[in-house]
Amino acid sequence: MADQEIELAVSRALEESPDRNFTESVDLAINLRDLDLNDPSNRVDESIVLPAGTGQETKIVVIAEGETGVRAEEVADEVLSGDDLADLGDDDDAAKDLAGDTDFFVAEEALMQDVGRYLGTILGPRGKMPTPLSPDDDVVEVVERMKNTVQLRSGDRRTFHALVGAEEMSAEEIADNIDVILRRLYADLEKGPQNVDTVFVKTTMGPAEEVV
């Protein structure tokens, strides 16, 4: 259950958001302090499953063969084979387009070496190298879980953003998502909450409301 103050901030952000002819996302703007982000060990880089979901479509591509590839077709937006990887390795533009359009990649462990060979230089710098899928993993369960996952990634910037929902979700649902993100963020930082300067919540086009 999220803190009442968080829920009130979300309610204000939703109420003050101007009407648009599209569904706006709801984002957190996180401002860090007293951290040397030139040191990669101090950077935030987490994948977080949101308890209330993202409220948005998440595009997931699975790289798999055989039965796993067939099962993945039930839930993934696209399934690539080893041959598809080789083709993308010869077409930088197509590979960059795929990387830009895809939120998460999942790949069978047996194909991870090929992923690195053909797509490593494109996916790596974008922070989109695939989640490895072991023989014991259920590809359907993994993909369904990733549909509710967001990336919390600071890079070398003190200010960064994270998706926490969509405006059609309730303030309580979004507040629960924020609560989970803040708990993970505090656990990840050297001095916990002391390394966080401010946190704001806002819709795509709306004003920012302070959470922390």
pLDDT tens for the 212 residues of the chain, in order: 668 999 999 999 999 988 877 889 999 999 999 999 999 999 999 999 999 999 999 999 999 999 999 999 999 999 999 999 999 999 999 999 999 999 999 999 999 999 999 999 999 999 899 999 999 999 999 999 999 999 999 999 999 999 999 999 999 999 999 999 999 999 999 999 999 999 999 999 899 999 98
> Strand, coil or helix: what is 108?
strand
Predicted TM-score of the model (pTM): 0.86
Tokens read off for 120: 């490593």
Q: What b/e readout covers 59-92, taking b as 16+ CB neighbours within 10 angstroms?
A: ebbbbbbeebbebbeebbbbbbebeebeebbeee
From the list 183, 100, 119, 108, the residue with the least C-alpha distance to 143 is: 108
As a whole number of angstroms, the distance between CA 85 and CA 74 comes to 20
As a whole number of angstroms, the distance between CA 181 and CA 117 comes to 33
As a whole number of angstroms, the distance between CA 19 and CA 165 comes to 17
Report the residue count for the chain: 212
As a whole number of angstroms, the distance between CA 178 and CA 28 comes to 8
From the list 179, 166, 169, the residue with the least C-alpha distance to 6 is: 179
Residue pair 184/48 in contact by the 8 Å Cβ criterion: yes
Give residue 96's pLDDT: 96
Tokens read off for 59: 């595009």
Give residue 1's pLDDT: 60
